[in-house]
Amino acid sequence: MEGFFIEKHIVVPTINDVTWAQEVSSWTVEASKNGVVMPNGELKPTMLPKTLEQVLGLFSYGWSMIVETEGLAVAHAAITFEWPEGWLEIGGVVTKKEYRKLGYASMAVNALMVMVKHNFPDKKLFALCNSLSLPLFIGLGGVVSEGKELPSEVWKECENCSNFVRARAAGKLCCDTPVNMTLADMR
């Protein structure tokens, strides 16, 4: 029996790709309405919603990757922050609901890693993962860390998080899991 092959491409969107930005924004809004279970059993929003303007902002840097299949955008990942000491944060990782568990987010994150390692070989990469994205980042060779190697500015954001007090009480810098992607191999 002949197999079939679904074509999929990585596209680097630009600020003119407004329809895709609307799509990506809508996926983040949908994801933000769901929760992931924290180690203490509480539900925390899966991810923060991103507005159209925020997504277009990411597109404008050329640091977003979209996976396109059969003419549709299905997954997104981006460099969302440039931190001191050469650290870049991978974020905005989201896949259209019906297309999850097919390797699309892994493909987008891997493409980002290839782009960064090629264009900015001295930069270091990390992600703050929830329980849904953690296996994906580990699968790409990421190393779970306590986050102590990351600049203190990263943790300033956490002070506005509802889980801040509990995370610190548990001896953690953040309620998400820091994963160092700097030494991960690319596929």
Ligand X SMILES: CC(C)(COP(=O)(O)OP(=O)(O)OC[C@H]1O[C@@H](n2cnc3c(N)ncnc32)[C@H](O)[C@@H]1OP(=O)(O)O)[C@@H](O)C(=O)NCCC(=O)NCCS
Give residues in contact with ligand X (CB under 6 A). 31, 46-47, 75, 93-95, 100-106, 129-130, 132-133, 135-136, 139
Q: Rounded to whole angstroms, how far apart are CA atoms 67 and 141?
A: 20
Comparing C-alpha atoms, which of 88, 87, 86 is closest to residue 77?
Answer: 88
**Angle (deg, nearest 10), helices 18-32 and 52-60:** 130
Comparing C-alpha atoms, which of 108, 44, 55 is closest to residue 80?
Answer: 55
Widest pairwise Cα distance in the chain? 58
Smallest distance, Å, CB 127 to ligand X?
A: 7
Task: Name which of 93 and 184 has its Cβ closer to ligand X.
Answer: 93
Query: One-letter amino acid identity for 68?
Result: E
N residues, the chain: 187
Task: Name which of 76 and 182 has its Cβ closer to ligand X.
Answer: 76
Smallest distance, Å, CB 169 to ligand X?
A: 22
Smallest distance, Å, CB 75 to ligand X?
A: 5
Task: Name which of 15 and 87 has its Cβ closer to ligand X.
Answer: 87
Task: Name which of 55 and 75 has its Cβ closer to ligand X.
Answer: 75
Task: Name which of 52 and 102 has its Cβ closer to ligand X.
Answer: 102
Q: Rounded to whole angstroms, how far apart are CA atoms 36 and 119?
A: 34
Smallest distance, Å, CB 73 to ligand X?
A: 12
Beta strands 124-129 and 143-144 are unpaired
Smallest distance, Å, CB 29 to ligand X?
A: 11
